[in-house]
Amino acid sequence: MPTVNVPGQGNISVSRNIGWPPKLPSKAEIADVMDEETYWDFTTALEFQHNGVHVWVGGTMSLITTSPADPLFWLHHAQIDRLWSIWQQSHSGKNPSLSGSDRTMDPWSETEQDVRSINGLRYSYGS
């Protein structure tokens, strides 16, 4: 396991405690997430499955303040982004209704609308 220097936190020694809860989301559970029809139902279901993976990996991944130190964090979040992209393709125009400061991707200056589309960001997921 690597030791990662995290600004403001120092060196984080990555640890894992894999296996509780005793399973990762199944294909059927992910299919159910992808079948959600509204943005809010989709994001609620996706967030539930997303959090379960953090807990299942355990250790460093189970804490918000340290999870980005684990290389699995980046793989996991790439999958979450990929699922969001796939859902967007079949649910055009179903986006969050944000206003004011909620629209800004703090600490950056971009808004949710600026980063909504992977095409606009000039990347794609392989097929």
> pLDDT digits over 62-108, tens only?
999 899 999 999 999 999 999 999 999 899 889 888 888 998 988 89
Tell whether 124 is covered by a domain.
Answer: no
Q: Residues in the chain, how many?
A: 127
Tell whether 75 is covered by a domain.
Answer: yes
What pLDDT is stored for residue 127 in this prediction? 58
AA identity, residue 95: N
Q: Report the distance separating Cα 111 and Cα 102, nearest Å.
A: 9
The string of DSSP letters for 16-71 reads --TTSSS-PPPHHHHHHHHT--SHHHHHHHHHHHHHHHHHHH-GGGGSTTTGGGSH
76 versus 119: which is more confidently predicted?
A: 76
Tell whether 6 is covered by a domain.
Answer: no
pLDDT exceeds cutoff 80 at 126:
no
Tell whether 94 is covered by a domain.
Answer: no
Sorting pLDDT into bands at 50, 70 and 90, what band is 9?
A: confident
Sorting pLDDT into bands at 50, 70 and 90, what band is 21?
A: confident
pTM to 2 decimal places: 0.85
Q: Give the residue numbers spanning the domain of 76.
A: 32-37+53-59+70-87
Tell whether 2 is covered by a domain.
Answer: no
Domain count, the chain: 1
